[in-house]
Amino acid sequence: MLSPKQASDRAHDLVERARRAGADAADAVYGANSSEGIQIRLGKLEDVERSESEHIALRVFIGHRSASIGSSDLSPQALDELAARAIDMARAAPEDSYAGLAPEELVAKGPWPNLDLTDDQGPIPQALRAMAEEAEEAARAVAGVTNSDGASASAGAGVFALATSHGFADGYESTSRSLSVSVVGGEGAGKQRDNAWRSAHHGSDLPPPAEIGRLAGERTVARLGSGRMKSGAMPVVFDPRVAGTLVGHAIGAMSGSAIARRSSFLLDKLGERVFAPEITVVEDPLAPRGLRSRPFDGEGLATCRRNLIEDGRITGWLLDSASARQLSMHPSGHAARHGGGAPGVSVGNVHLVAGSLSPAELMADIKEGVYVTELIGQGVNGITGDYSRGAIGFRIVDGMIAGPVSEFTVAGNLLSMLARLTPANDLEWYRAINVPTVRVEGMTVAGD
């Protein structure tokens, strides 16, 4: 794996080769990853994995025509061949008046803030195994746990670099550490399964393995004796594990490409109040050690902290250069590169600002409702906002969590759901999208 400086130099070299081969403009993206993982099941080593990958992708422009191509061979001869093939492909491609690099005057300049994304204390396989064993042992020690799907611990590292023909060339590196446990409780047809996991850039930011294991065991046992829900309209409370998906759907609908294609349920809602009043959703891609922190976006534009939603209102679309041109706007620094091809859109670390009520206070006046801890299926229409997903959780009766329930569906429309969303005060900070417990009024629950 190359260092960030070596990677950006290699990407710049490929761009120069493309220019010499006849490209009017070009950019190149380098990505490399390595990881190792240990899986334990029932106290025994079940699997050991190690992987490494390295890839460079080139995008060239000839007038309004463009093409992308990639390779894992980084030798000088291979890069020359890559540039020549990309030029041939671009000449045969259709014209796209919106395609192109980001405006040169918007390209960011370093130095970048220290985001502290690398952990120098890389765990050895024996340490990963010990973490997984400790986590699974703690989960299996919870009364009512009868089997295990296993525990896994992993460590990884990655490098990303970008170079463009209008002068940008830079890269950064990051590491990852993760631990997960999944166990089974009960017997026969009454078996239930649940899990717990954590992921961070630094191993020191992970909770103790025994804590993760106990949480997995307790969640599993809490599901035992699961019953069924009655159908009807009622408040639905979303656990922080799944509440972030609601904000995620809104972020997807704010993508510039979705707006340009007119395929978003938030179309024509810019500046309008779509969340409940006083709701704020913050993005901070410069948060130290954040899971989605990055100093610049996939087109070389600076990233920054901003409110995506302020007082319930959309403050702007999430734009790469192509969608910005389509909408006659400016790119917003949200371009993302995943291998080759044109940029997509992604956000940095996101959180919904917590409310003032505890989860118990949020549920206190609910006569009959449901607390959702897991969502199943993909029943969300990004164009209309229609929402229908299978769910697992607990009944709420007279303001209190009652017995576990499963095999039911929660449904509504995202526009009305977001407008009726109330957050609790239990915001956690270890996910890419951090959202506290939230209550949504007037949803339809389909059970028995």
pLDDT in tens, 100-127: 999 999 999 889 999 999 999 877 889 9
Q: 3: number of CA atoms within 13 Å, CB side?
A: 2
Q: What is the pLDDT of residues 291-310, one digit of tens each?
A: 999 999 999 999 999 999 99
Give the domains, in start order, of the chain with CATH numbers. Answer: 4-35+48-104 (3.30.2290.10), 226-448 (no CATH)
Residues 6+ apart with CB under 8 A from 261: none
Residues 6+ apart with CB under 8 A from 268: none
Average pLDDT, the chain: 96
- CA 26 – CA 69 distance, rounded (Å): 12
Q: Is the overall model pTM greater than 0.75, yes or no? A: yes
Q: 117-126, 192-201, 266-275 — which is least confidently predicted?
A: 117-126
What pLDDT shows up at residue 121? 85
Contact 59, 77 (CB under 8 A): no
- CA 223 – CA 150 distance, rounded (Å): 18
What pLDDT shows up at residue 448? 84
On the question of pLDDT at 79 being above 90, the answer is: yes
On the question of pLDDT at 423 being above 90, the answer is: yes
Q: 8: number of CA atoms within 13 Å, CB side?
A: 14
- CA 446 – CA 309 distance, rounded (Å): 31
Q: What is the pLDDT of residues 361-412, one digit of tens each?
A: 999 999 999 999 999 998 999 999 999 999 999 999 999 999 999 999 999 9
- C-alpha distances in angstroms, 51 versus 32, 37, 48, 86, 423? 11, 9, 10, 29, 40
On the question of pLDDT at 340 being above 80, the answer is: no
Looking at the chain, the whole-number percentage of residues with pLDDT higher than 70 is 100
On the question of pLDDT at 341 being above 90, the answer is: no
On the question of pLDDT at 279 being above 90, the answer is: yes
Q: What is the pLDDT of residues 202-228, one digit of tens each?
A: 999 999 999 999 999 999 999 999 999
**pLDDT band of 165, cuts 50, 70, 90:** very high
Residues 6+ apart with CB under 8 A from 198: 178, 179, 180, 206, 207, 212, 430
* β pairing state of 169-185 and 145-164: antiparallel
**pLDDT band of 272, cuts 50, 70, 90:** very high
